[in-house]
Structure 1
């Protein structure tokens, strides 16, 4: 089933955006970003374009830098199905053609297949604080973009201000109004309510006052036989007093009095009933009022619909459930960028909080994750409160993909990676390094253990083989003995004597799971030797242990020149120095 879709949104001088162009995806769009960067403004721009009435009140804060005299303009290129009825207007709305990036003039004198027909709509905020809705024609002229057509396109909007009962009332253009589609209800309600004598419910004193007023009206030749009734007016409709009710414990309650999460789900249930028209759906802060399991359920429900859906969120549960959706990030400068799905899909499921952090530190693996957390605790004690999040990318290939994706999306991030012999394109790493500078620490060669362990002295051997819980000491000795060909009972002295001046190199080989080329034909032994790494530092706790020993055993001065640039860059990025 075809549905309305915004293919391109362009804003000029609207609120905090001097200029912005965005190409939302056809299905579900998840918009991320820090506080006050304009996530909700994107949704409100589309809501303004398709506002179902002409009663919207502008203020000077809706204009860029409050310069009302310069006006603002919101323009969208939109795809519309025939069922919308755009061709049944009194004035013909001529289509444009979509070239994949913008609306272009149709090719009339060609035998080639014509492109996808689209329409260009816009709303202008004038210097008089008035809205003007227009359809832009290919010849440059404009015609009125009627409220009837805007309602026909349809819009389901759940704002983040906790006033989500609009679609639960018979307000003109609301979800409930479009669902019931009873155009004569307003008149019938007026007639029915007019028959009710509200004045009969007044107490005697109030009735006497009303009677005195009636007499005074007569004396002044004003209308008489006064009474009380429900009266609609500009900005106030009798229908707005009518809303959905439901029973709880045999008591009829308005649905607007239920919890915010229930109200939101109820409004979307109305939208689902309207799916034959598949209205564009806007959900600001989807997580509001919903437990994580209901957040996931709502995301799954929205993904099933053919409607174009635009969501803002601060919830990792929402991001994790939105597999296959388009993720967008708005940075502090008001620029919006896409997070490539092919590069973030796995991480989106494993650690969605990465995309919500103020600053994400992408560590290559578990060891690096534990190691970096100790560094942060040493030099930025309040790093978690500052919005820094350390995430495990899950390998050298994954860390590069994730860093590239975050660079394209405009997120603030840092990286901590190995330099593997069979690493991916050095050109790609060079591009990431140029973008991040000191925020990327990538060893010149080898991995973390290969750069840190050789700095320890043989005198540190006993401390290196002893883990904090003293649970792995025996297994670590065994891994070294296997590599030395020692069988039976072993002692630390036996290993030290056998290894000689190669002792620390032996520890490094065991800690990295190194397998000599001559042994790789023996699959069983290869598997065992690779498994040695898990007995040492190949885990988050192992990375933590390695970092703590680096400090406690005096190795830090030998490596600080390599690690300090990253730490200082992290401090600068979050403004840490200015607050201490």
Structure 2
């Protein structure tokens, strides 16, 4: 059994949601406050075996309790007893092969049987669980719900942040389920009480000797002869050994004292071993309390085909989780301002780009609301340096604006990456040089139509060209001196001399530095700073400023001058510094700092 479709209406932060989960692992990712945990809570509540749960006004979207909350969870891969005429056959629906829910059971070759469970909450704060289909809604069929035994079989096994309750024989704990039901647990507790009473007798004679003598003396005074065999003992009926009082111990220390991560790992294993759910496992913040190597181990366990409940809903804010899972396991959650929530599979292709590559190389980008795709490492390094400078000036950082930077891997790959993120619902900016256009001459137009903001320098200019040619001379001299801190002088001399005749070559670095106002010298340095072409290839390598560290030196005068340059550039405006410049509303919502448009 598994969840085939989820519909949520007016529940907490969700105004509306429709989602068709995959059969295996479904990892919900996205920025904070996108309602990932709310989706897990909704599914768990709808499939709860207890129909006495309490609700409050905050469980309604926007607190509007006069608009009923509805959560419909449609189950498929049903066992035979669910589809029999004696049970729920009249209430069956279907899920077609294209993932759509249909109200009548489809033919086997066109889909599968399904059963929809609806939780509705009205302004009286009463929850109502019923089997739902359009015939029931129309009043053509009588309302009914699952039997308690069937509710228990579809109830999810949820592993929360605090897992220690499952390490005792408490109510609805995993250990209690492993004890073959409530009756077996009660029998165990009764035996535990007798063991406690018998053990107590051996120690109580000494502990309570003085008190018992006082009791006998007091009884004599009123003429009451007490038996000589009286002793202190435990009254099993009043012992109050509750189900949660008996827990697994390591020596004298209960295992609930384990670290949070260890507790969650153990409980995850126990839930599978005890077959605590035949339907679904739910884990919120799967990485919580775990080191990277144990996160990897837990994910492999959850994806194992040997598990009795192979469908898993998890949430995560960890790049490690995104990197380790397959792109087919990842689902992007986005919430619009009106409360509509969408869940998109991350394996959607754009152009010919492999959708698996970005989660492996840039998992952090999937966790931000806005992604700025840079053509290459040089642009990423420049923006990282500017970000540090803005923070030092007490200005807003990229992180505060919700912007993640990503290396697009070149002029031909970066646009396709921008298209992929745009298709997943992200706010996307694309920063490209203008010295070379993408091989796909139509892709930039398509991206702009889709809502991607494309930033470019003046025609024919790369980032290196702009830094060497458009910064003030003092800043160029600082950039030149800084370059000497990580490059050999011979490398810079070779670059400066490459276009020069033999009799006009520089022989010292000081000569080059003295000619930094010469456009031909700047051309030569900028050309080499971009990188050399590999043999039989158009790809560049050995770029001078492609490493992040070379742009992130704190309080670097070059960074300040670069920022001022960008601020003055007619087509490259910083709304950090120039808040008076009227930018269109779309840019403001994106929060993109570097706003340029050809």
Q: How many residues align?
A: 532
- Aligned in 2, Cα 1:238/1:88: closer, same or farther, shift over 3 Å? farther
- Aligned in 2, Cα 1:165/1:129: closer, same or farther, shift over 3 Å? farther
Partner of 2:342: 336
Relative to the length of structure 1, the TM-score reads: 0.76
Structure 2, unmatched stretches of 5+, are: 220-233, 594-598
- Aligned in 2, Cα 1:318/1:144: closer, same or farther, shift over 3 Å? same
State yes or no: 1:311 paired with 2:314: yes
Conserved in 2, the CA contact under 8 Å of 1:441 and 1:566?
no
Conserved in 2, the CA contact under 8 Å of 1:440 and 1:566?
no
Offset at 1:350? 2.5
Q: Secondary structure at the match of 2:158?
A: strand
- For 2:435 and 2:265, how far apart are their aligned partners in 1? 50
State yes or no: 1:405 paired with 2:420: yes
Partner of 2:365: 354
- Aligned in 2, Cα 1:323/1:297: closer, same or farther, shift over 3 Å? same
- Aligned in 2, Cα 1:268/1:486: closer, same or farther, shift over 3 Å? farther
Offset at 1:270? 1.2
Offset at 1:534? 1.9
Q: Secondary structure at the match of 2:55?
A: coil
Q: Which residue, 88, 106, 116 being the options, matches 2:112?
A: 116
- For 1:138 and 1:406, how far apart are their aligned partners in 2? 37
Partner of 2:166: 167
State yes or no: 1:82 paired with 2:79: yes
Conserved in 1, the CA contact under 8 Å of 2:464 and 2:529?
yes
State yes or no: 1:48 paired with 2:52: no
- For 2:439 and 2:274, how far apart are their aligned partners in 1? 49
- Aligned in 2, Cα 1:417/1:494: closer, same or farther, shift over 3 Å? closer
Q: Secondary structure at the match of 2:366?
A: helix
Offset at 1:269? 0.4
Structure 1, unmatched stretches of 5+, are: 213-225, 516-522
Partner of 1:556: 565
State yes or no: 1:364 paired with 2:375: yes
- For 2:167 and 2:563, how far apart are their aligned partners in 1? 67
Partner of 2:228: none
The equivalences for 1:103-502 within 5 A come to 103-106=101-104, 113-137=109-133, 139-140=135-136, 141=141, 142-160=143-161, 163-171=162-170, 173-182=172-181, 184-189=183-188, 192=191, 229=237, 238-243=242-247, 245-247=248-250, 251-274=251-274, 278-305=278-305, 307-324=310-327, 325-331=329-335, 333=337, 334=339, 335-338=341-344, 340-341=346-347, 342=349, 344-357=355-368, 359-379=370-390, 381-383=395-397, 386=400, 388-419=403-434, 421=436, 423=438, 425-434=440-449, 440-443=454-457, 445-446=459-460, 447-455=462-470, 465-466=480-481, 467-469=483-485, 471-484=487-500, 486=502, 490-491=506-507, 502=520
- For 1:459 and 1:227, how far apart are their aligned partners in 2? 90
- For 2:441 and 2:274, how far apart are their aligned partners in 1? 52
Q: Secondary structure at the match of 2:115?
A: strand
CA RMSD in angstroms comes to 4.3
State yes or no: 1:504 paired with 2:502: no
* 1:258-293 residue CA offsets vs partner (Å, 9 max, x unmatched): 222122111100123246965411111122222232
Offset at 1:392? 2.1
